[in-house]
Amino acid sequence: MNRRPSLLFRLFRHLVLMSGAMIMLMPFIWMLLTSLKPPDEIFTSELTLWPQHWYFVENYTEALTRIPLMKFLLNGIVVTVTIFLCQVSIAVPVAYALAKLRFKGKKTLFAAVLFCLLIPPQAVSIPWYLLMYQFGWLDSYMALIAPFSISVFGIFLMRQFFMTVPNDLIYAARIDGFSELAIVWKVMLPTAMPALVSFGIFSIVAHWNDYFWPLIVLNSPDYYTPPLGLVNFRNDDTGNDYGPLMAAATIVITPLVGAFLLAQKRFIEGITFSGMK
Amino acid sequence: MAEIAIRKLNKSFGETQILDQIDLTVRDGEFMTLVGPSGCGKSTLLRIIAGLESQTNGQINISGQPVDQLRPKDRNLSMVFQSYALYPHLTVKENIATPIRMRSYRWYQRLPLLAQLLPGAAERQAGIDSKVAAVAELLQIEHLLDRRPGELSGGQRQRVALGRAMVRDPAAFLMDEPLSNLDAKLRVHMRTEIAQLHKQLGTTFIYVTHDQAEAMTMSDRIALMMDGKLLQVATPEEIYRNPVDVRVAEFIGSPKINLLPGEVNHAGRVVVCGCPLRVATQPGQTHIRVGVRPENATVCRVEQGDIQGQLIYLENMGAEFFAHITIDTLAEPMLVRCDVEQGQQLVLGATVGIRIKPKHTLVFDQQGRRVASEKVAAEVHHESATA
């Protein structure tokens, strides 16, 4: 049926794709290379890709010592992991109920979920700030976690996945003696692993990189998340210190890149095949 | 081991009546098949018996105990589904063990890690293992125990689903079209296996299917449903020979029964296409339908036939032939079975006679209900010219 395209076309196709990939990757590569350069090379007028003098040790030591970067990373892990666990523990049962149980007001409830998807997070940030203030949670982990503990997107994503799980599987579980909660956690969740992994990546990336909300609710550097920590290198009186800044940025994104590579296979499955059994 | 009695069961979704006054008793150890076209409510009935859906009103008793208020797991039934419904993340062994683990363990005995430290854990595990092994041996799936459902073929998954249902000696097995996802050859094979399994276990089976051949070959009794009503409950033999309704006659039997429009003359003789048959019934009925199964008619010479028509097609089945014969006033051709010798001699396009066996002719009234009919004595046949 399909003839194999000619060599020329295949070469062309790969060139186009590769140049696209290069454009996407360029900022990352630039960040990596800058983190290896001494200050005078960073500020030269001509563009040099490869550093002439390696400044790796100096930049990275500076990044790790000038600010308590390890503490910020730890804060980031505590916050993102707690947010993710909260989101899962709420989204999965809710999604199960919306997808598989029969009750009055189900359609209205799902419409409400869809409606919440449309609300931009910035629009509710002031009410949330006031709420956090009322609770006395400002400048704490609670302020970082509470507003994100329910993910409407997570509910929606899991609900769509659960819709594809055949009813017979739930019937079988009920006959076998699973309680409804056991069905949620022991039958539905394991079948929904691909969807859960993709949701996990979305959630963790979003909250790891979040700059806006932590900036609003935090004062003391004790609770700083990594993106806030990075700012220390910019606001210094000495001016911008790009070498250590880029080194710190590299350190901050490393866990994400690592997690993505580990989950990559399942992540892509989750996006493209989540509708198929 | 249980008798399942269903009394005056109704189910409706809003205005739509899904099940209408179902009364059915499944005897202890019986293989009962619920059969009917899709959408007739048979699967709904099965799910109501299992407790997965609730009835609008009516009662279900299992072994004399009302179960209407019981949850599915407390009814002690097990079920096999059309899509097998195996737990995709568990191995075959874990799948089969799940019903015992969930039923006979307390919640703390099912905790991961900790459970193994509790007293008696090893014995409990050994008990489960031996039960799983026994079931696996019976179904010949020992070599599959460590695989996951995704790695199995349809037939293998079906066996695992059976194993999961069998492992804990339920009061009855409910099966919801368990063979319809298999290919034709395997389906015929699994039919025999399930029937044999029923003999070995001696447990009550309720089996739902839309395939009349499955119903005919496997069951002790068949309950035929249509449009939410139970039309007839009888043995396969009885339901084939003595259908109480024209819809039953049409549904059971392959190829389908021939239905010929007719009337009854003043003498009580059944007349089809202007030709009187050797069948008598109550006089005074117009618009009756006469059911003749293909094997209850023979192709013969024109002058010997009850009616005549033109042979338009011969279906060669190998061991037999089916002759398609058009009759002038009828829209559909009539199907008549003939043996191989006769079939080979028939010529397409020829005008042939059809002789109908009066003893096996079924007469249905205008509403489709069966009416009594009998064979007219041979001597009356000769006088029939005046009729």
pLDDT of residue A264: 74
Decide: A154 and A91 in contact? Cβ < 8 Å: yes
Domain ranges of chain A: 60-272
Residue of A nearest to B100 (CA): A176
Count of domains for chain B = 2
Contact B89 A191 (CB under 8 A): yes
Nearest to B35 by CA among B178, B175, B204, B212: B212
Distances (CA, A) of A45 to A28, A48, A50, A52, A234: 21, 9, 15, 15, 21
Of A166, A174, A190, Cβ closest to residue B83: A166
Q: CA A161 from chain center: how many Å?
A: 20
Both B201 and B337 in one domain: the answer is no
Mean per-residue pLDDT, A205-210: 92
Both B230 and B107 in one domain: the answer is yes
pLDDT of residue B168: 86
pLDDT of residue A2: 63
- The residue among B81, B111, B180 with the most chain A CBs within 10 A of its CB, best to mutate, is B81
- What is chain B's mean pLDDT, rounded? 89
Distance from the B113 Cα atom to the nearest Cα atom in chain A, whole angstroms: 16
Both B271 and B221 in one domain: the answer is no
Both B224 and B346 in one domain: the answer is no
Contact B99 A187 (CB under 8 A): no
pLDDT tens for each residue of A212-244: 999 999 988 889 999 988 887 776 555 667 888
The range of the structural domain enclosing residue B122 comes to 4-246
- Say yes or no to pLDDT of A265 above 90: no
Of B72, B83, B89, Cβ closest to residue A175: B72
- What's the Rg (C-alpha) of chain B? 26
Q: Which residues contact A6 (CB under 8 A, 6 or more apart)?
A: none
Contact A172 B81 (CB under 8 A): yes
CATH number of A60-272: 1.10.3720.10
Both B207 and B296 in one domain: the answer is no
Instruction: Give chain A positions within 8 Å (CB) of B99.
Output: 175-177
pLDDT of residue A269: 57
Contact A169 B87 (CB under 8 A): yes
Distances (CA, A) of A112 to A103, A108, A109, A155, B286: 15, 6, 5, 11, 62
- Strands B321-326 and B334-338 turn out to be antiparallel
**The domain spanning residue B329 has which CATH number?**
2.40.50.140
- The residue among A161, A169, A170, A176 with the most chain B CBs within 10 A of its CB, best to mutate, is A176
Distance from the B30 Cα atom to the nearest Cα atom in chain A, whole angstroms: 21
Of A175, A178, A182, Cβ closest to residue B77: A175
Distance from the B98 Cα atom to the nearest Cα atom in chain A, whole angstroms: 7
Q: CA B381 from chain center: how many Å?
A: 39
pLDDT of residue B386: 42
In a domain, B96, yes or no: yes
Determine contact: B47 vs chain A, CB below 8 A. yes
Residue matched to tokens 């454009």: A23
**The domain spanning residue B141 has which CATH number?**
3.40.50.300
Both B231 and B318 in one domain: the answer is no
Residue A275: pLDDT band (50, 70, 90) is very low
Q: How far apart are CA B327 and CA B210, in angstroms?
A: 31
Distance from the B327 Cα atom to the nearest Cα atom in chain A, whole angstroms: 48
Determine contact: B88 vs chain A, CB below 8 A. yes
Q: How far apart are CA A245 and CA A211, in angstroms?
A: 16
pLDDT tens for each residue of A28-70: 998 998 888 888 887 777 777 788 888 888 889 888 888 888 9
pLDDT of residue B260: 92
Residues 145-174 of A with CB under 8 A from B: 166, 168-169, 171-174
Both B207 and B275 in one domain: the answer is no
Instruction: Give chain A positions within 8 Å (CB) of B73.
Output: 174-178
Residue A273: pLDDT band (50, 70, 90) is very low
Which domain-ending residue is among B246, B268, B284? B246
Helical segments of A35-124, H only:
39-42, 56-66, 69-100, 106-117
Both B151 and B84 in one domain: the answer is yes
The DSSP code for A52 is: S
Mean per-residue pLDDT, A140-154: 93
Determine contact: A17 vs chain B, CB below 8 A. no
Single-letter residue type at B74:
D
In a domain, B115, yes or no: yes
Distance from the A114 Cα atom to the nearest Cα atom in chain B, whole angstroms: 27
In a domain, B251, yes or no: no
Q: How far apart are CA A31 and CA B351, in angstroms?
A: 93
Both B47 and B164 in one domain: the answer is yes
- B118: its two tokens: 């509790």
Of A176, A178, A190, Cβ closest to residue B89: A190
Decide: B146 and B64 in contact? Cβ < 8 Å: no
CB pairs under 8 A between A and B: 59
Determine contact: B134 vs chain A, CB below 8 A. no
- B342: its two tokens: 């006769």
Both B115 and B213 in one domain: the answer is yes
Distance from the B281 Cα atom to the nearest Cα atom in chain A, whole angstroms: 49
Both B180 and B277 in one domain: the answer is no
Q: How far apart are CA B341 and CA B338, in angstroms?
A: 8
pLDDT of residue B378: 59
Contact B89 A171 (CB under 8 A): no
CA atoms within 13 A on the CB side of B76: 17
- Say yes or no to pLDDT of A85 above 90: yes
Instruction: Give chain B positions within 8 Å (CB) of A187.
Output: 87
- The ipTM, to two decimals, is 0.84
- Say yes or no to pLDDT of A254 above 50: yes
In this structure, of A128-132, A258-262, B26-30, the range with the lowest mean pLDDT score is: A258-262
Q: How far apart are CA B364 and CA B262, in angstroms?
A: 10
pLDDT of residue B238: 95
Both B267 and B360 in one domain: the answer is yes
Buried/exposed code over A105-121 (b: 16+ C-beta within 10 A; e: otherwise):
eeeeebeebeeeeeeee
Determine contact: B81 vs chain A, CB below 8 A. yes
Which domain-ending residue is among B209, B224, B246? B246
Q: How far apart are CA A60 and CA A52, in angstroms?
A: 17
Of A168, A174, A190, Cβ closest to residue B73: A174
Buried/exposed code over B354-368 (b: 16+ C-beta within 10 A; e: otherwise):
bbbbbeebbbbbeeb
Q: Which segments of chain B have a pLDDT < 50?
A: 379-387
- The residue among A101, A169, A175 with the most chain B CBs within 10 A of its CB, best to mutate, is A175
Single-letter residue type at B246:
V
Q: How far apart are CA B322 and CA B327, in angstroms?
A: 16
Contact A176 B99 (CB under 8 A): yes
Which domain-ending residue is among B220, B246, B272? B246
Q: How far apart are CA B298 and CA B285, in angstroms?
A: 27
Contact A166 B50 (CB under 8 A): no
